[in-house]
Amino acid sequence: MDSPWYLLLVLTVALVQPTSGGHCQNGWAQFKSNCYYFSSIDATFKDAMISCISIGANLLEFHNKREEAWVDLQIKHRGYAKGVWLGYSDIQKEGHYVTMSNAEDLGYQNWHEGEPNDWQKNEHCAAIHFQKAGWVDYHCTAKYNYICKK
């Protein structure tokens, strides 16, 4: 007949694994020790930032190339068509991009060639651009998808 101990073990593993294998809430994806929320709507840079802060996270800031590669796959999987905001801006000092989370200089960077170019002196927010490889500066009132990270 059935083996109760075996069934108990299977059930225990099934129940325990989601919490021990990952700590992200429902609706968040995990990469390394961080959790990511991928927006289903477009928003301005400011609204995207506020939205992330309201759920206890920050607008996406990249730690390194591997993280960006993972995010790129997630973006393609979700079919984002325009762009994705990054938590970097030079609003405080033109040409000096800093993180929105703590106003630090950027470590890892992946600007598209010739960017940031402050086109028409009106681009102060960073985004991943899909037609170009890498990041661009863009006007902050554009509406893009966004990713919150915590």
**Binding interface with Ca ion (CB under 5 A):** 117, 119, 123, 136-137
- Pairing type for strands 58-59 and 83-89 reads unpaired
Instruction: For Ca ion, give the closer residue by CB, 100 or 116.
Output: 116
Structure tokens at 120: 């028409």
Q: How far is CA 36 from CA 4, 11, 29, 61, 148, in A?
A: 39, 28, 5, 11, 6
Q: How far is the CB of 127 from Ca ion (least distance, A)?
A: 9
Instruction: For Ca ion, give the closer residue by CB, 92 or 117.
Output: 117
Q: How far is the CB of 115 from Ca ion (least distance, A)?
A: 5
Measuring CA to CA, which residue among 74, 4, 1, 83 is closest to residue 36?
A: 74
Instruction: For Ca ion, give the closer residue by CB, 39 or 116.
Output: 116
Q: How far is the CB of 10 from Ca ion (least distance, A)?
A: 54
